[in-house]
Amino acid sequence: MIAAYQGEAGSNSATAARALYPESAGLPCTSFEQALDAVTLGAADVAVIPVDNSAAGRVADVHHLLPDSGLFIIAEYFLAIRFDLVGVPGATLDQVECVRSHVHALGQCRKVLREGGWRTLVSDDTAGAAREVAELGDPRHAALAPPAAAALHGLQVVRSGVEDDPDNTTRFVVLSRDAAPAPATGEPTMTSLFFSVRNIPSALYKTLGGFATSGVNLTKIESYQMGAGLNASRFYIEIEGHPDDRSVALALHELSFFSSEVRVLGVYPAHPHRLTA
């Protein structure tokens, strides 16, 4: 098993991939697109991709890449996010002048950055920021990085647990070349799909009406403009339930009637975090 992810070893994505597939070989990628391409081209079996964070919202670009990737969601995973402020051995908090990390990590640790009044630099990913600090060897430079990154790069923790929200959580999805929909066993199931509404008045209202009348819960809905004219909209939704459930089947039938395109992206088991959150 080879699991592709965006970022370097020690990143949150690497941690999620290792938690999902402990025996897998990780394939670090420089971008989300490269990770998806690795699966499409057969260099990896799955891609573990972050899609939402409880503090920062949706991960930019990912939902634009999914429709055209040709891949399918086969699982989801929720990872508790922890960040440490790390520096070179011997560095102290008073010496720090510049903090670097991924743009999302910087956004999730605003309080400590505001307290320190430090200059910030954006890195490709959190583990990469730790590596950059180690390479610089300068106590004036620190990084916001996951706990695993400090030991990996021989850094020391200057201040631990600096995330703004102690309940900070990122949701990852696992993408595969094969659909592999979860069976309809009655267990909690999620269904993800894209659809494009017909360019007629009240089209979105009518497409979503079936979910309301059938009692199907929508946990997410996002819109994307398509084409230069910006007239057509594509929507990404996630619902609780399986397409074989009668209520979901009725809702999907009504959805298709008012849509020019409907494409199921994945049917997969709901992660236990949904039940405990």
Rg of the Cα trace of the chain? 21
In terms of Cα–Cα distance, which of 83, 82, 78, 84 is closest to 48?
78
Residues identified as active-site: 170, 172
The answer to whether 3 touches 27, Cβ cutoff 8 Å, is yes
